[in-house]
Amino acid sequence: MKTRERVGTVTAQTRADDPVVAARGFPRSFVFGVATSAYQIEGAHDADGKEPSIWDVFCAKPGAVEDGATGNVACDHYRRYRDDVAHMAALGVDAYRFSISWPRVLTNGSGVNAAGLDFYDRLVDTLLERGIRPFATLYHWDLPQSLQEMGGWTSSDTVDRFTEFARVVGARLGDRVRDWITINEPEVVAFVGHAHGRHAPGLRDPRQAIRVSHQLLLAHRSAAAAIRAEVRQARVGISLNLAPVHPASDAEEDVAAALRVDGYLNRWYLDPLSGRGYPSDMVAWYGGLLDAEAVSTMRGYQGDLDFLGINYYSRQVVRAAPAELLASQQVRVRDAAHTTMGWEVYPQGLSEVLQRVTRDYRPRAIYVTENGASYDDRPRQGRVSDPERTRYLAQHFAEAAQAISAGVPLEGYFVWSLMDNFEWNNGYTKRFGIVYVDYATQQRIDKGSARWYRDFLSARSRV
């Protein structure tokens, strides 16, 4: 089916963003949830023995964060978690994907901080009391600063420390938490943080970035084994930020650039996690930047995934640009809708990614572990209207339903994000939440998209 026809079909199916229509494409067993991460919402940056993370340090660098903001308070979730869980329950979500702050749980990256671990114990109990299934992410970018000072993710010792972190958390929460995600978006950790300098730790060294990407894959495998050793019937996955990569033209150099970006963003992680080792074209492209031993190690590597988490926001359209690391450059698509992040709204890319991964890699199960959009939301007379986000979600839900009908083993979908929060190097200038947060008062207000999601979740029981 042609793309233009498919877009029209989605629009027709979700006319007026009808939640009842949207709900028809999903089986009753399907898991719908919301997602957050620790540094983005918890605040309490030095409470109860929590140590600094690389993001605490990065935020203190002049110019590192767009509005000079920090996660010191964020959404104050550390103190308000019971109210936030009650808010989730009122929405009717099945599950909550959250992350566990490593520097809150362990001191110096290894010694147990009982007070920090107790917080997650209470959070999990509160979720279960409300009938919400916990999905725990071990690493969502907040590496303890003490470990960064000893080499961070370039050091094999950090892999060992991460494994111990997984063991400690699994032993404490594993009697109630079955679903685990080891690492969120290793590409962002490795390259945005170590090659482009836009995220913590703010380095600009492509060689280190490639090494970090390798170390993160080793950390996934080791932590997964630790979780399985501690948790009966554990289900362990990893969350990758994936996207279709399309050439800006039919020119040979643009097609080649798109293949390289696909290798960098998608195949560099999917291939080894599926037991294929690193893709040979990217090994050749990186050349001397990549350690030969790492290539050899990946030949015997197995990701052993119970499920694959996919974070999807948009596609990438690229053209050749010789001066760049991948000799490519992303192109802004004309006459397309974009979010305030500058990302093209391209719902059909979700189905494209889901079907491609299913066809090429045959995962046991898939979850959309993040999907959402940033828009400029403002309260008016006590309400927040965000029709663009509602439309975005409705269209992406329709694509997910279409993927299920095409045979994709999609079992769940997490909206990013539950509430507005600290958006990394963009600070508080971008709002992804379906719940509006007034940071001065910490008031939460359901946006139109939250009300639509609540109606959608309610409609599932009637179709």
| Residues annotated as part of the active site | 185, 370
Side-chain half-sphere CA neighbours of 281 within 13 A: 14
Helix segments in 149-205, DSSP class H? 156-173, 186-187, 193-194
Is 80 within 8 Å of 130 (Cβ atoms)? no
What gap in Å lies between CA 98 and CA 88, rounded to an integer? 12
Q: What is the DSSP string of 379-398?
A: -BTTBB--HHHHHHHHHHHH
**Dihedral angle, C-alpha 206, 286, 246, 316, nearest 10 °:** -10
**Dihedral angle, C-alpha 8, 13, 17, 23, nearest 10 °:** -140
What DSSP element (H or E) covers 135?
strand 133-139
435's tokens? 């719940």
What gap in Å lies between CA 278 and CA 293, rounded to an integer? 12
- Where b means 16+ CB within 10 Å and e means fewer, 264-300 reads bbbbbbbbbbbebbbbeebbebbeeebeeebeebbee
CA 95 to the chain's CA centroid? 15
Nearest of 116, 115, 121 to residue 142 by alpha carbon:
116
What DSSP element (H or E) covers 204?
none
Helix segments in 54-98, DSSP class H? 54-59, 77-91
Non-local (6+) Cβ contacts of 228 within 8 A are 234, 236
**Dihedral angle, C-alpha 232, 411, 262, 370, nearest 10 °:** -90
Is 140 within 8 Å of 54 (Cβ atoms)? no
Residue for token digits 């207000």? Answer: 445
Compute how many other C-beta atoms are within 10 angstroms of the C-beta atom of residue 129. 11
CA 387 to the chain's CA centroid? 23
Distance linking the first and last C-alpha atoms of the chain: 27
